[in-house]
Structure 1
Amino acid sequence: MGTEGDDFRVIAGRYRLETRLGRGGMGVVWRATDQLLGRRVAVKELAQDDSLSDDEARLHRDRTLREARAVAQLSHPHIIVVHDVVEEGERPYIVMELIDGSSLADRISAHGPVDAAEAARIGIDLLSALRTAHAAGVLHRDIKPANVLVESGTDRVVLTDFGIAQVAGATTLTETGSFVGSPEYTAPERMSGAATGPESDLWSLGVLLCAVLSGESPFRRDSLGGILHAVVAAEIRPPAQAEPLLPVVRGLLERDPDRRLDAREAERMLRAFRETGRTPQPGAASGGRTPRLVAGRTPKPPVPYSPTQRDVPAPATVEQPQARHSARGVLVAALLVAAMAGAGVSAAALLLNRGGGAGGGDTPSSSAPHTTASASPTPTPTGSPSASPTASPSTAANTRTAPSGYRTAQDPAGFSLAVPEDFTRSPQGERVFYLSPGGTFRLGIKVADPEPGGPLAVMRRSAAEGPGNNPGYHDGRVTRTTHAGQPAALWEFTWDGFSAAEGPRHTYDLCWEENGRMYDVWVSAPVGKVREAREYFDVAVDTFVPS
């Protein structure tokens, strides 16, 4: 898997693994030396799951590498720096900044809880980090004291293990590629298997503030069932030590994510406490949440569609809000999890794949089998109904299993992939789109002949044309990556949308070559729904098969 030299293993020809710093559900973290640059680094050696098939292992590895590369694009003093992502012997390694210090969990264990002023400082730093990550479409999904490092000498707070953290132990629910997190710190909507966004990270931060102030989470119980009941149904009782920061804690621990305090307002309130010793109430004008659209912003006129754009104009229909799981429904699922866990049933699979009821199956599970079914045709933005094709028995061998809540579309353009059950096919010239009701989410696919320079050059040319094709284009970045073992390029950017009513959007776009053809798959969504968009994007890419 590597080379031996001076009793140390060297990977990727440059990183010498020297001392094991720790072990968790995701693998081993090493203190290492970058022999090329002569600097100390931390290297996470990701564990391999022997229960996965070769295809599943490859998809999981590709997704892990994509997420790590996304985190590597983040630049913030309170976010761990990812220097490199490499493979050795088909095993991924993530090369990170080496922090000389300990975790916040270890600090509390050794020295006890912190006071309100220190908790506010920690909260401010983490909120600032989350705002940067969320703006880039990256969620953490496992915020807890063990994933926060405190640098010795400077007390700098550093958030680590973005998006890929899994831990072992009786109070952790994990399932490869679908559920990541620790129940004591997991938001109620994630417990229910509903699609989640930045608000879920903010709930976890509220729990973390309680833990650093009192020494433990307010949802700690003696059993998994007790934890799940406490999170989704029991009265929330912040510890007495949280009294100075109670408006922030209560705002973050709001079970309805639509009413939960947002990061900007929570940071403002904590800064006010640091300056005055008193925590103000959430801003009355926004109900504690920062409006998504900036007041006074000059709307840009709609831009006509052109074949070079990666999106389509929004239809005139208004999207109906998605129904949320009721507290009773969440509680039933939680109690079922507790009952079935003792019988050897995967708790995460039960939470994420339960059927029936509004919103069931919103969160995909890449390992769950799903029987494809044709959705009822719905009008497309072009005005003519178009039923999305589904796999037939004769084509099933050329497709990958669709996760729960998805169906496999065998597209006449020469490919198959899994799309959400309510997405409708809408061809647009050389591109094929699958659109959610109302066109809020837009999944696009293009099949073409290879172009000079390969996928990386194609994405860079598209990025150069981004400002002309996407109003308000900003924060665009192109990253070299791989897909299906072939060179690929990932392009991400944010833009203003085609109208003021539509609002800002974020786009993920992956391009690669396979079997003499070039494939381009992208998903566009409102910036407030980037987590759902990333899931649709990952499932589309992971299940894509050329015909």
Structure 2
Amino acid sequence: MNMLRRRNLPTSPHTPLTDKLGSLEQKIRKEIAIMKKCRHGHIVRLLEVIDDKLNERIYMVMEYLGGGEIKWRNDQNEPVLRVDQCRRICRDVILGLEYLHYQGIIHRDIKPANLLWTADRQMVKITDFGVSHFSYAQRLAAAGRGQVALDDPNDPILQDDSDLSKRAGTPPFLAPEVISEYTSTDPSPSIGSTAVPHRQPITKAIDVWALGVTMYCLLFGNIPFRAPDSSEYVLYNVICNHDWEPNEMMGCDNEETGGRYPPVTHDGYVVMHLLDRFLQKDVRKRITLDEAKVNTPSLQLLT
């Protein structure tokens, strides 16, 4: 950083580099604008941005997290985390997502690789905002009655909602509403049918779905929706139209799940119930972060 500051950079009054961006640089600029808004214990901090005009590069100086990304399975696709560790990780991610959504930010790529441990392995932070989206309307709704203070509410980078309609993120973690064209439809639905609507709004609920997929990965060492031939077309069909199934045991400590729908009295009920609420294909039935924090029996996961 000091070497870059000492360079004899051009000082003529020309258009800044960040105002002449191509598609990749536009993505970087949007990521910077979003990260500048984030100040939370479970969000990786952006410390400084250096615009190196001489070499036409933009450097993002990030908070260093010595624990690295979460390792959630071994070479045999077996979980390496205990159930209580998965509980702590999900708690931290829920708190981080709650803050992001209040700020009007939809992460769009929640997955284990984008969750980093602090050096002491006591806390997890969300990183990688490369495909994140800022929704001004969502920010207003979260604040209530229009009481909102933004760094720059007129920034066109943050006002552009067109990206939200584009597919972004990691395929196995995409919510059904993002790939709704793969949803099978009933040609003659009955009155009062609870079938999943073919077109559902793309909202912050996509992060809740991705958290559910992440939770499944941490518990079982594999993703809940899989395509046998690694085809994205098949994978998207599976995500939209198939149910998920748990293993008999979860975590490296091999706690019993009790199956897909264990009885309330079973030790695995709380986890399976929460997974079921996270992975609801119908966004209207999917659990919210507030419900995940305070509703019984989900409350037990966060204690």
Q: Shorter chain as normaliser: what TM range?
A: 0.5 to 0.7
* Matches of 2:119 and 2:43, distance apart in 1: 16
* Matches of 2:282 and 2:50, distance apart in 1: 40
Aligned-residue offset at 1:62: 3.6
* 2:38 counterpart of 1:74: yes
Among 82, 86, 89, the residue aligned to 1:119: 86
Q: CA RMSD in A?
A: 3.0
**Between Structure 1 and Structure 2, how many residues are aligned?**
217
Paired residues of 1:65 and 1:85 also in contact (CA < 8 A) = no
Higher relative contact order, structure no. (Cα contacts within 8 Å, ≥ 6 residues apart)? 2
* Matches of 2:6 and 2:84, distance apart in 1: 43
SS of the residue corresponding to residue 178 of structure 2 reads helix
The alpha-carbon distance between structure 1 residues 11 and 257, as it changes in their structure 2 partners (threshold 3 A), is: farther
Q: 2:69 maps to which residue?
A: 103
* 2:76 counterpart of 1:84: no
The alpha-carbon distance between structure 1 residues 262 and 274, as it changes in their structure 2 partners (threshold 3 A), is: closer
Give the alignment of 1:31-180 within 5 angstroms: 57-58=21-22, 60-88=24-52, 89-104=55-70, 106-109=71-74, 112-164=79-131, 178-180=166-168
Aligned-residue offset at 1:270: 4.4
* 2:271 counterpart of 1:265: no
Q: 2:193 maps to which residue?
A: none
* Matches of 2:6 and 2:90, distance apart in 1: 37
* Matches of 2:35 and 2:62, distance apart in 1: 11
Among 173, 181, 195, the residue aligned to 2:169: 181
Among 5, 14, 17, the residue aligned to 1:13: 5
Aligned-residue offset at 1:155: 2.7
Q: 1:204 maps to which residue?
A: 210
Give the alignment of 1:220-369 within 5 angstroms: 220-222=226-228, 223-224=230-231, 225-241=233-249, 243=257, 244=268, 245-268=271-294, 269-273=297-301, 275=303
Larger Rg: 1
Paired residues of 2:91 and 2:302 also in contact (CA < 8 A) = no
* Matches of 1:11 and 1:87, distance apart in 2: 13
What amino acid sits opposite 1:69 in the alignment? A
SS of the residue corresponding to residue 287 of structure 2 reads coil
SS of the residue corresponding to residue 49 of structure 2 reads strand
What amino acid sits opposite 2:5 in the alignment? G
Cα shift readout 1:93-152 (whole Å, capped 9, x = no counterpart): 221101101211x35338933232221211111001000001101111111111111223
The alpha-carbon distance between structure 1 residues 59 and 210, as it changes in their structure 2 partners (threshold 3 A), is: closer
The alpha-carbon distance between structure 1 residues 107 and 100, as it changes in their structure 2 partners (threshold 3 A), is: farther
Unaligned runs of 5+ in 2: 8-18, 133-162, 182-199, 251-256, 258-267
The alpha-carbon distance between structure 1 residues 203 and 62, as it changes in their structure 2 partners (threshold 3 A), is: same
User: What TM-score results when the alignment is normalised by the length of structure 1?
Assistant: 0.36
Q: 2:150 maps to which residue?
A: none
What amino acid sits opposite 1:272 in the alignment? Q
Aligned-residue offset at 1:74: 1.2
SS of the residue corresponding to residue 188 of structure 1 reads coil
Paired residues of 1:139 and 1:162 also in contact (CA < 8 A) = no
* Matches of 2:6 and 2:275, distance apart in 1: 45
Aligned-residue offset at 1:264: 1.3
Cα shift readout 1:161-216 (whole Å, capped 9, x = no counterpart): 02438xxxxxxxxx9x9432111111011123765111000000000011000101
What amino acid sits opposite 1:103 in the alignment? E
